[in-house]
Each structure stands twice: as C-alpha cells, then as structure tokens.
Amino acid sequence: MDSSYFAVQRRALEIVGFDPGTPHLKLKHPIWAGILVLSLVSHNWPMVVYALQDLSDLTRLTDNFAVFMQGSLSTFKFVAIAAKRKRIGSLIHRLHELNQKASATPSQRKKIEKENQLDRYVSRSFRNAAYGVICASGIAPILLGLWGYIRTGEFMPTTPMDFNFWLDERNPKFFWPIYLWGVLGVAAAAWLAIATDTLFSWLIHNVVVQFQLLELQLEKRDPPNQEDFHLVECIHQHRLALELAKELSSIFAEIVFVKYMLSYLQLCMLAFRFSQSGWSAQVPFRATFLLASIIQLSSYCYGGEYLKQQSLGIAQAVYDNCNWPEMPPKKRRLWQLMIMRAQKPARIFGYMFVVDLPLLLWVIKTAGSFLALLRTFERSPT
C-alpha cells in the first residue's frame, strides 16, 4: 500500500488523541481529548443562553442553535467512538489484514487501490471543508476588525461566534483569550467530526472491497474437480463481507441515528441565515459551515447506498458466472441459495431508517419544509 493509504483517518484520529496503530484504538492522550470536549461544552451552553435571550430574533436563534447542534453532535460522536474503540480498532485491523492478504494478487490489489482512492476523494473533500470552517472562524473576525481600524482608527473586537461568555470581549485584555478559545471550540468540533466521518468513509469503502473481491472470485473458472471447493470459498467470502457490513452498521448505529435526527433542523437553520440580508464576521463561518454540513450528510448517504448496491450486485454476479445448463441439480440449489441471500442487501441502519440516497432526499425536503416555516414566522406580525 502507498503512503496515502489510511493517511487521512490516521492523522485525524491522532489529532483527537487516539492511537490508530493499536488493535483496540487506545486513547493515547486523554487529557488533550478532554480539553477538546471541554472547549465544545463551554461554548455550547453560552450560545444557547445567548440565543434564548430574545426569541423574536430568529436570525440569532437559528445561528446559535445550528452551531450548538454541531457541537453536541461532535461531542456525542467522540463519546460513542471512545466507548466502542475496541470494536472499531478490531474492525480496522481486520480490514487491514484482509487487504494485505488480498494485495498479493494483482487484480485484487487493483480493486483495493481503486476503492481507497475513492475514499480519499470523499475524506479529503470533507476534511478540507472542515478546515475551511476553522480558517473562516479565525480569519474573518480579524479582517473585519482590521477594516474597522483602517476606517475609524479603532480596532473593534469581534469573536468567531456570538455568545454570552463569562468575560467581556469588549475589554481589550479579555478579547484575545475569548477569541482563541472560540477558535479552539470550532477546531475541536471540526477535528472530532473529521475523525469520525472520514473513518466511516474508509470503513465503508473497504467493506465494499470484500464484495468486489467476491465478484473476482466468482469470475474464476476452476477445473471440474475443484468446483465444490470454489463454491465453499465463495460462500465463505460472502459471509465474511456480510459480517463486516453488519459490524460496521452496529458500531455507527447510534451516531447515524442522532446525526440524521438533527440534520434537517441544522440544515434549515443554516440556510435561513442566508435568506437574511446583512454582513458580519460570522457570515464566512456560516457559509463554510453549511458547505461542510452538506458534504458530511452526503458522504454518509453515498456510503450507505454504495454498500447496498454493491451487495445486491452479488446476486447478478453469481447468475452470470455459473454454468447453469451443465450444473447438477444439487449444486444448482446451493448457488440459488447464495443468490437468494444476496438479494437481501447489506445496509447501514440508524434504528429508525436506512442510510442511503432516499434518506438524503428526505433530509433535504424536510429541511426545506422547516425553512418555509421559519420564513412564515419571520413575516408574521409581532
């Protein structure tokens, strides 16, 4: 494997304190991880208090609750990953071993490299969007302050987010600590999201590889005296791929459930901000935040749909690669059983729903409905 294999995920896990080189995903730096979570919690609740002070100001309310939801979701993701780190580490290393073993065959190695290249496209897109959020939260307030200084000769303090902090940011000696703590809070949410979501992408693509390796195995033409062995190998590979998919779904079930229960509210609140006129230091942050949220949601639904379609394709692959006219009836029934099992696809479940492209469409439509509701409240007389 080249140096880019698992590189995005490895670096993201190391940033939030995990050691991806251990079989059980050891939390190597718990104090640093605690600081990240503390920075999230210490920003979430002041933002809620600030938002609830004036319920008639829908822009402020939706601005702060959208960020609050992402901070809460990132915290929940970290807790879930930490609680299941042994299962996650075991699944990662199991896939590593399977990939190393399969890479000895050129055709199989090509499949593995192709899927990991696809994962890099998805993971790097989200990582770059998340880092864009961090940069926007850090740079925009400074640029706005410098512009005010050029025009008026006075530097007007602004923070990455609007919230009621326990220090007054208008006081020059408190501005920089509040500003730096605010940027750290945004960075913590982004880093925790990158670690979780890029890991999901890598796991999805490398579970899909196991179904693709089964298709390669089905295409092989073995001598008549080895047909029974070939059938046993294919059944074993199919069961392995389904088992890995089931374990992945079980690990991420809680994360997926909470994520999509909040996602439509988060999207409509972020979109509502851009239906308003006006400019502030928070606008670049909100714009990059909205882009990162859309990529985040799409990557999960794309991964779930990709896994579902790839597992369904096994039924067609079995049908296409079996010599049905010359096959004995007893053996034909065994292959038919495999086709029947493949017609029940592997899925990523979120308890109440399946993660696939129809779910993404539902989220967008529901977010649009709530956005229309918010616009109605905005236009209604007070």
Residue 82 to residue 36: CA distance in whole angstroms: 14
Residue 382, classed as helix, strand or coil, is coil
Least confident span in 5-9, 58-62, 187-191, 270-274: 58-62
DSSP helix/strand/coil, 371: helix
What is the share, in percent, of the chain residues with pLDDT greater than 70?
89
Three-state DSSP at 168 gives coil
Element (H, E) at 193: helix 172-219
- Closest of 238, 239, 252 to residue 204, by C-alpha: 252
pLDDT at 282: 66
The predicted model gives 246-251 an average pLDDT of: 95
Q: What is the CA radius of gyration of the chain?
A: 25
- The stretch 368-372 carries a mean pLDDT of 86
Residue 278 pLDDT exceeds 70: no
pLDDT for res 70: 86
pLDDT, tens digit, 9 for 90 and up, residues 21-59: 888 899 999 999 999 998 888 877 777 777 676 666 777
Dihedral sign computed on CA atoms, order 350, 354, 355, 361:
negative
Q: Where are the domains of the chain?
A: 7-379
User: pTM value?
Assistant: 0.90
Residue 295's closest CA among 137, 132, 156, 181?
A: 132
The predicted-structure confidence for 17-31, as pLDDT tens digits, reads as follows: 999 988 889 999 999
pLDDT confidence of residue 331: 86
Confidence of residue 86 (pLDDT cuts 50, 70, 90): very high
